[in-house]
Chains A and B, each alone.
Chain A
Amino acid sequence: MSAEEFQLEVLPINQKLYYFALRFLRSAADAEDAVQDVFVKLWNIRDKLSTYNSIEAFAYTVTRNHCLDKLKAKRTYSIEDTMRVEPGQANATPAQRTEDLEKLALVKQIIGELPEQQRMVIQLRDIDECTYEEIAEMLDMQLNAVRVNLSRARKKVRDEIAKIYNYETTGN
């Protein structure tokens, strides 16, 4: 693959890989570094890239492995990095905003405490809006396992919110 083809076909997926890496590493700076490293790897084997059925799928695999290695090297990563609370809607009253911020922090915390697979799946779906197929590809999981994990994660988040705010739930 020529440098030009690489720029046209491979380089554009950097944003997708970045969000994917972000879900693992939970830090914007680390995710950027990871994606740059991944692109060095892809660049180095650009001659072989066209032999893969899907370069994108292969790139996810490389990114996943790279992120897992990073996490292993740095076992005590902090969830605080992505737990910072950002200002909410500008037109809300101060009281509403405080409440919204509290809730936002709470939802982040609930997601942060989910089991790894559930956390990855719910973030990739409900925040990043990936399709089930993409998630299965990204995480090297079976499609049905993606659905099962997602279903559990969504229910868990809802139930935790309900528990904390004393809402009644339908319980399904």
Chain B
Amino acid sequence: MKLQKFTTMKQQEIKYLLEKYYSADTDLSEEKQLREYFLGNQVSDDLQASRDQFIFFSGLAEERPEATGLEDKIRANLLEGPPVVPLQKKKSGPIIGRIITAVAAGFLLIFVVKSLEESFSSGMNADKLTTSLTSVSCGTIEQCYQYTDEALRILSEGISPDENHHGNRLMDGLFSSANLDDKAISLVVDEEMLKKLAELEGQKIFQSLTREVSSIKISRISDKDVKKKDEIASYFEQVTNSPEAHLLNKSDAKGFSFYVLDLPDNEQAYIYYHQGDTADLLIELSGSIDLSELKEYSKD
């Protein structure tokens, strides 16, 4: 009886560690623990694939080819060999490379800001604001990167990770929802947030983004319309609790958090942010980018 209890506890622990492992949240010692467990134990069917995975990763590690004598070769080559040829200059610097990589990797973030509701109770002119935000293009890649960064920084201000929430409420005035029908993700901002966004750098930040299969939007919601906020929150909750979509919420001591949404058809969306001196919030949607399909958010 005791043994059984112990086994169950161990299995619980392994399952917990596995969950961390698949969220890329384990440290090396926890991964070692998992590896040792799987090498020494039979497991239930639902863990069999994970067991194979661990066993064969360690198999792959063992057969990693050794570079025997490489150090001696290098030493001989450099210190005793013929004079070495001068280094050729690299064409592109690391920063440009980084930007291009970032863009190529699909970190192109473009926002559509558009009215979610007909009525807009504050004195601000909704149409004017919307126009001014959507009509701006971002110029060079570097500028685009910079502006996006700045927008995300602003967005991430005030984010306070709350373990009781499942990602519906990212921060005060900023909500996120996913629409499984058109594979779209929306960020919904309240008026306060929208004003903050609008004040940025002469309002030149926002561009629109739509990918072939996914889109990302920033939409406005009236600050006073609590019901709407709740609707969105519960919709997001519902979506992320559905069997087709899986939401992963993680955070660690460094204030790093991210959410992963598994959408149907193997699509995934990530919302992740980091709080600190260089706070940023990145939203990535998988799927290929199709800029020809740019479209604005349309009212339901």
Q: Which residues of A are in contact with B by a Cβ distance under 8 Å?
A: 3, 6-7, 11-12, 14-15, 18-19, 22, 28, 31-32, 35-36, 39-41, 43-45, 61, 65, 86, 88, 100, 103-104, 107-108, 111, 117, 126-129, 131-132, 140, 142-148, 150-152, 154-155, 157-159, 161-162, 165, 167-172
Given known A3-B79, A11-B71, A162-B49, contact A155–B28 (CB-CB < 8 A): no
Residues of A within 8 A of B268 (CB): 152
CB distance from A116 to the nearest CB of B (A): 10
Residues of A within 8 A of B28 (CB): 129, 131
Q: Which residues of B are in contact with A by a Cβ distance under 8 Å?
A: 15, 19, 21-25, 28, 31, 45-50, 52-53, 56-57, 59-61, 63-65, 67, 70-71, 73-75, 77-79, 84-87, 90, 94, 97-98, 101, 105, 246, 248, 256, 258, 260, 268, 270, 272, 274, 282, 284
Summarize B's interface: helix, strand, loop or mixed: helix
**Sample of 21 A–B contacts (CB below 8 Å):** A14-B74, A18-B70, A32-B67, A32-B73, A35-B70, A88-B59, A128-B61, A131-B28, A132-B24, A140-B94, A142-B282, A144-B258, A144-B282, A151-B248, A158-B49, A158-B53, A159-B49, A167-B45, A167-B46, A167-B48, A168-B46
Residues of B within 8 A of A111 (CB): 60
> Across the interface, do A86 and B63 meet the contact criterion of CB distance under 8 Å?
yes
> Across the interface, do A44 and B87 meet the contact criterion of CB distance under 8 Å?
yes
Residues of B within 8 A of A145 (CB): 105
Given known A28-B65, A43-B78, A127-B64, contact A148–B52 (CB-CB < 8 A): no
Residues of A within 8 A of B70 (CB): 14-15, 18, 32, 35-36
> Across the interface, do B57 and A117 meet the contact criterion of CB distance under 8 Å?
no
**In the complex, A124→B260 CA distance in Å?**
22
Q: Which one of B53, B98, B105 lies within 8 Å of A107 (CB-CB)? A: B53
Residues of A within 8 A of B25 (CB): 147
Q: Which residue of B lies closest to A156 (CB)?
A: B266
Residues of B within 8 A of A132 (CB): 24
Given known A144-B272, A168-B45, contact A19–B64 (CB-CB < 8 A): yes
Q: Which one of B19, B60, B73, B78 lies within 8 Å of A172 (CB-CB)? A: B19
Residues of A within 8 A of B258 (CB): 144, 147-148
**In the complex, A11→B70 CA distance in Å?**
10
Q: Which residue of A lies closest to B71 (CB)?
A: A14
Q: Which residue of A lies closest to B60 (CB)?
A: A127
CB distance from B51 to the nearest CB of A (A): 9
**In the complex, A88→B28 CA distance in Å?**
25
- 18 additional A-B pairs beyond A86-B63, A140-B101, A172-B22, beta carbons within 8 Å, are A15-B67, A32-B70, A43-B84, A44-B84, A44-B86, A44-B87, A108-B60, A126-B31, A144-B274, A147-B24, A148-B284, A152-B268, A154-B22, A159-B49, A161-B53, A165-B52, A169-B46, A170-B46
**In the complex, A88→B269 CA distance in Å?**
39
> Across the interface, do A154 and B24 meet the contact criterion of CB distance under 8 Å?
yes
CB distance from A13 to the nearest CB of B (A): 10
**In the complex, A151→B163 CA distance in Å?**
20
CB distance from B268 to the nearest CB of A (A): 7
**In the complex, A146→B73 CA distance in Å?**
33
Given known A32-B67, A117-B105, A154-B24, contact A165–B60 (CB-CB < 8 A): no
Q: Which one of B47, B75, B77, B272 lies within 8 Å of A148 (CB-CB)? A: B272
> Across the interface, do A172 and B246 meet the contact criterion of CB distance under 8 Å?
yes
CB distance from A87 to the nearest CB of B (A): 9
CB distance from B271 to the nearest CB of A (A): 11
